[in-house]
Amino acid sequence: MSNESTMAPQEGVLAINTPVRLHHGGTLDSLRIGWSLAGEAGQPVVLALGGISASRQVFDPAGGRNGWWHEIVGPGKALDTQRVAVLGMDYIGASGTSTGPAAGGSFPGISSYDQADAILRVLDHLGIAKLAAIVGASYGGMVALAFGERYPQRVERLIVISAADQPHPMATAWRSVQRNIARLGLACGCSTQALELARALAMSTYRSPEEFAARFRAAPQMTGDRPVFPVEEYLAARGRDYAARTRPESFICLSESIDLHQVNATRIPVRTEVVAVREDQLVPIADMRALTARLPDARLHEFSSLLGHDAFLKEAEQLRAVLALVYPGESP
């Protein structure tokens, strides 16, 4: 393979035209699962899964900034696509090509186990007998754990970043407020503005207090008759970006899925690298250490980052060594 590029990805949508029973008791009349695979024939395949805003477009094979993990994944990057093929998926319930809630419609509860079942369907469809690894961050780490419990024979290694076997109650508290803001917006006919506000609130939990202190100490600027604070402008911009590409119903569905997540770590025999960020407010370091202790075959990798929960998106050098474990011939 060229040292400068990765072949254009294959993309598709797998259609299941029979009813699909879900973990929490609901049923989908049919199911669509969007996927993307970039790499060459014969390469080990790594599935990359991110937070609830991630999609099947993991990186830009042309080397640009498209893709939710473009700073980490690509030719010569921390997860080197010259050495592995990368599979991405759209989550069930999201606003991508997979089945999700329609505007104004209801949708059954989705479990991390349901996402694991969808992964299995895609692997069978593509003829992938066994993944070299699942690298899952945030919600993606939860899904990786669910897959490792249900289908351990189909994956060689899990790399779980900033995700535990169950959510922390404080994080659930923050997300429940965000969901209620989004629900209020739907009820009042201002769903876009409410989703922007819910996302802004979420962004305040993704980074560390120290990072906000370093970035947003400047004095406010007067706009009309009120002050506008630098952090306020940042949060508002992130809210607008998110609401432009996400339906509020999808946000509510997948946010709930995070808080419904519960796996039995003692029943996950797959070799697991647990990656924890000490400044993560959403997944405290104590929860990551406890997860490592419960897993039968796991190692804990800790690092510090002012980016907190968002560290997995940008801390390439901090992640490089553990991500290298997915390559053939690396240490077990």
The catalytic residues are 138, 280, 309
In the structure encoding, which two tokens stand for residue 31, read together?
């199911």
Write b or e for each residue in 184-197: b if 16 or more Cβ atoms lie within 10 A of its Cβ, otherwise e: ebbeeeebeebbbb
Alpha helices in the chain (DSSP H): 112-126, 139-150, 169-188, 191-206, 209-215, 230-245, 248-260, 285-294, 311-314, 316-323
Strand 85-89 vs strand 45-49: parallel, antiparallel, or unpaired? parallel
Distance CA 191, CA 194 (A): 5
List the one residue out of 216, 219, 220, 242 whose CA is nearest residue 231: 216
Do residues 161 and 312 make contact, with C-beta atoms less than 8 angstroms apart?
yes
3-state secondary structure 53-93: CCCCCCCCCCCCCCCCCCCCEECCCCEECCCCEEEEECCCC
Distance CA 146, CA 222 (A): 49
Do residues 173 and 269 make contact, with C-beta atoms less than 8 angstroms apart?
no
Do residues 301 and 273 make contact, with C-beta atoms less than 8 angstroms apart?
yes
* 3-class secondary structure, 326: helix
Strand 73-74 vs strand 79-80: parallel, antiparallel, or unpaired? parallel
Token look-up 């003692």 returns 266
* 3-class secondary structure, 230: helix
